[in-house]
Chain A
Amino acid sequence: MRARLPLQLLIGAAIFAAFALAALVSFLWVPHDVTALNIAAKLAPPSREYPLGTDHFGRDMLSMLMVGARTSIAVAILAVGIGMLAGVPLGLWAAARRGSLIDEIIMRGNDLVFAFPSLVIAILITAVFGPSATNAIIAIGIFNIPVFARVSRGAALSLWTRDFIMAARVAGKRAFRISLEHILPNIANVLIVQGTIQFSLGILAEAGLSYVGLGAQPPTPSWGRMLAEAQTMIYTAPRLAILPGLAIVLAVLGLNLMGDGLRDLLDPRLRRARQ
């Protein structure tokens, strides 16, 4: 019997897939070149030529949003990647050596990172190394590390008391191997759910950094900077602010719905209830 997919997962995945598709298509084709300025057609209303109109430099809004999706998704994916690649092994290590000095050092290190206001540190990093998409990725990624370390440690700790882990220990397996073979596959569902949530937070953080000018640099379009540039014309052309704002809200909403749906789908307790 196939389990029914949660409705919110379908809706969330559909919204996110639309953005991902737009980002992918933008690599091959966009309606208009986003670097080409066309002052003659500035602030044009939506038309057949410009489906979502143009901005104050006459750039096509649809093309800008498509390329902006690319920036947002790339930054968020890489930031989540950094968080997972560094955080999950740290969390598994802490869980395997629970109660030891290593566990203490890792978890207090986590607390230390958590204690810093993340946006301020991101601003600091970009201020020192210069604003760019790469530095935004690193800044957001660093703050994902303790999240994944904590989540994977917590999930792994409850597994370490289970009998099948004891059986693996009786089979002479070392903590490293048990973590890899038994713990990691069994906490994958938790990590996937946390990953989608961190992904949506990454999109928000990227938009925030770009808004203050510390993310992707011109002429690379980004949702956050589109918002920032639109704010002076909020009364004359509200469309310029509404469109990128809507894109951010929809992408984050879609990812959060997806995360909730995945949680329902992957939670063994709920799964058992459905069977």
Chain B
Amino acid sequence: MTAMIEARGLSLAIHGMPILRGVSFALREGETFGLVGESGSGKSMTALSLMRLLPEGAEASGEILLAGRDLMALGEAEMCDLRGREMAMISQEPMTALNPVQTIADQVAETLIVHAAARPREARRIALERLARVGLPPDAIPPDRYPHELSGGQRQRVAIAMAIALRPRLLIADEPTTALDVTTQAQILALLKGLVREEGMGLMLITHDLAVVAGMADRVAVMQEGRIVEEGDTESLFTRMRHPYTRALFEASAHQPERRPTARAEPLLVAEDVVREYRMPGLRLFGPAPRFRAVDHVSFTIHKGESLGLVGESGCGKSTLTRALLGLDPIDGGRIRLGGEEITAGRHMPARLRRRMQVVFQDPYASFDPRWKVGRLVAEPFHLLETPPEDPAARVAEALADVGLPADAADRYIHEFSGGQRQRIAIARALVLKPDLVILDEAVSALDVSIRAQILDLLADLQARLGLAWLFISHDLNVVRAITDRVLVMQAGRIVEEGETERVLTAPEHPYTQTLIKAAPQIPAAWRKALHG
């Protein structure tokens, strides 16, 4: 079979910085081609090069052959004609990919009208048919809805419907499920798989997640620093892993830090029947506004030195619960006690209670004031002490050393650090007051797998050395398995299952936990055995 699209020696530099260094690959019709790599490896730029949608200051060289025609030689007008018709793309963030003031049917129809493929009436008919094809039938999801009236998964379906409106030969999906929950991810991946099979198009699936490509792709290429370091049939690539980088990536994604199970003796934080409600915009002018119960009678205990996991999908109330635990938002019912003292929101909460709890957030780029130096950032919790420490610089240096950063990091600004280093700094800030409990809110979700493995090692090591308790909030079951002893599963504001991590993840009792575990993509066990055997 001949290649439908082929890249030959594709190189790219942006403002003189080399991004791609001689990338070559070929994609056949009806084939799913997985492109895997960590952030900055050039996978998205490869996709944008194919579409010729490169950022300003980019210089590309090499050949891109679409059915034998070199796209690099085409003008912008000819490319516009090809985009959408021959090749289409869906991106990671379904909210920003859709026009918020246009109905979903109009957006899908637009592609058809722009390419003069159909008159408006006919375009709408095709649009409805395409929407039905991606699982949004008009009788269930009215086609005159706007993007904000849909869930994340439904928006991604609309984006897919737009992409396949003209039945392109190539569909590029750049991290199509990274922003979605695991159960939604499973549905979107199943949809893409079905489209490839039934419409016979080629799918280029870009992802950082080895488990996703393992279940989807016919062939896989692994990218590192702008090069494809290994390429092959999915099964043979996974079972052989010739290139050391592929092997490192694989091992990092399944990394289990060495840790001893922690003893559970003394309760540290006790939550009893916690309720938190939000007022929703009223539907009627008069009468009580409807209330949304984000946290619904939640009770649990964190013991001293324990590592507790909290798993749930977006909107289940994890973040609301976190803010209540930290005493940032008031609760509408129940009690939260830390070491016997009741946590109350706002200024009534004594500093001595506050300093026993700290937090690490998900996004290492939003967690720091960009105008402060690291030393001042890490020292910010000193505000909770009645008298500032005598040697703040030494305390900061100690906290930085705990997370494996040199003391001179304190004199630098946060933008000088990488994502992984920033997350270390966030942990240093949480540790500087030597708290009893640290809440890690999706603290490793935004990190590349190799960095994530390092941070998990660091967390396990810190817990062993400092006797800290973690509340580890995550949607990623692999991470929860690696770092926690006990886990809570949360759904729609309630804790539906609780137990030893290993037991819950291998023999889940609650149907929701079972769904979660089934939906999480896995590398087939046989492939893993072949690799290690």
Contact B347 A174 (CB under 8 A): yes
Q: Within 8 Å of chain A (Cβ to Cβ): is B465?
A: no
The 8 A CB mask of B161-202 against A (1 = contact, 0 = none) is: 000000000000000000000000000000000000000000
Out of A168, A170, A186, name the residue touching B370 (CB < 8 Å).
A186
Contact B361 A172 (CB under 8 A): no
Q: Within 8 Å of chain A (Cβ to Cβ): is B384?
A: yes
Contact B367 A171 (CB under 8 A): no
Q: Within 8 Å of chain B (Cβ to Cβ): is A162?
A: yes
- In the bound complex, what is the Cα–Cα distance between A167 and B383 (angstroms)? 12
Q: Within 8 Å of chain B (Cβ to Cβ): is A18?
A: no
Out of A162, A163, A171, A186, name the residue touching B380 (CB < 8 Å).
A171
Q: Which residues of chain B are within 8 angstroms of A167 by Cβ–Cβ distance? A: 359, 361, 367-368, 380, 426, 429
Q: Given A170-B354, A171-B383, answer yes or no on A164-B347 (Cβ-Cβ < 8 Å).
A: no
Q: Within 8 Å of chain B (Cβ to Cβ): is A166?
A: yes
- In the bound complex, what is the Cα–Cα distance between A26 and B326 (angstroms)? 60
Contact B367 A164 (CB under 8 A): yes
On chain A, which size bracket covers the interface?
Answer: 10 to 19
Q: Within 8 Å of chain A (Cβ to Cβ): is B371?
A: yes
Contact A164 B369 (CB under 8 A): yes
Q: Which residues of chain A are within 8 angstroms of B371 by Cβ–Cβ distance? A: 185-186
Q: Which residues of chain A are within 8 angstroms of B117 by Cβ–Cβ distance? A: none
Contact B363 A172 (CB under 8 A): no
Q: Which residues of chain A are within 8 angstroms of B370 by Cβ–Cβ distance? A: 186, 268
Q: Within 8 Å of chain B (Cβ to Cβ): is A97?
A: no
Within 8 A of B (CB), among A153-195: 162-164, 166-174, 181-182, 185-186
Q: Which residues of chain A are within 8 angstroms of B381 by Cβ–Cβ distance? A: 170-172
Identify the closest chain A residue to B426 (Cβ). A167
Contact B383 A172 (CB under 8 A): yes
- In the bound complex, what is the Cα–Cα distance between A185 and B413 (angstroms)? 15
Q: Which residues of chain B are within 8 angstroms of A174 by Cβ–Cβ distance? A: 347
- In the bound complex, what is the Cα–Cα distance between A198 and B98 (angstroms)? 36
Contact B366 A164 (CB under 8 A): yes
Looking at the assembled complex, report how far the CB atom of A98 sits from the nearest CB atom of chain B, in whole angstroms.
14
Contact B328 A166 (CB under 8 A): yes
- In the bound complex, what is the Cα–Cα distance between A181 and B370 (angstroms)? 12
Q: Which residues of chain B are within 8 angstroms of A268 by Cβ–Cβ distance? A: 370
Q: Which residues of chain A are within 8 angstroms of B369 by Cβ–Cβ distance? A: 164, 168, 181-182, 185-186
Looking at the assembled complex, report how far the CB atom of B428 sits from the nearest CB atom of chain A, in whole angstroms.
12
Q: Within 8 Å of chain A (Cβ to Cβ): is B351?
A: yes
Contact B358 A170 (CB under 8 A): yes
Q: Which residues of chain A are within 8 angstroms of B362 by Cβ–Cβ distance? A: 163
Interface centre among B367, B370, B380 (most CB of A within 10 A): B380
| 27 CB < 8 A contacts A-B | A164-B366, A164-B367, A164-B368, A166-B328, A166-B359, A167-B359, A167-B361, A167-B367, A167-B426, A167-B429, A168-B369, A168-B380, A170-B328, A170-B357, A170-B359, A171-B380, A171-B384, A172-B349, A172-B381, A172-B384, A174-B347, A181-B369, A182-B369, A185-B371, A186-B369, A268-B370, A273-B56
Residue positions of B touching A, CB distance < 8 A: 56, 326, 328, 347, 349, 351, 354-355, 357-359, 361-363, 366-371, 380-381, 383-384, 426, 429
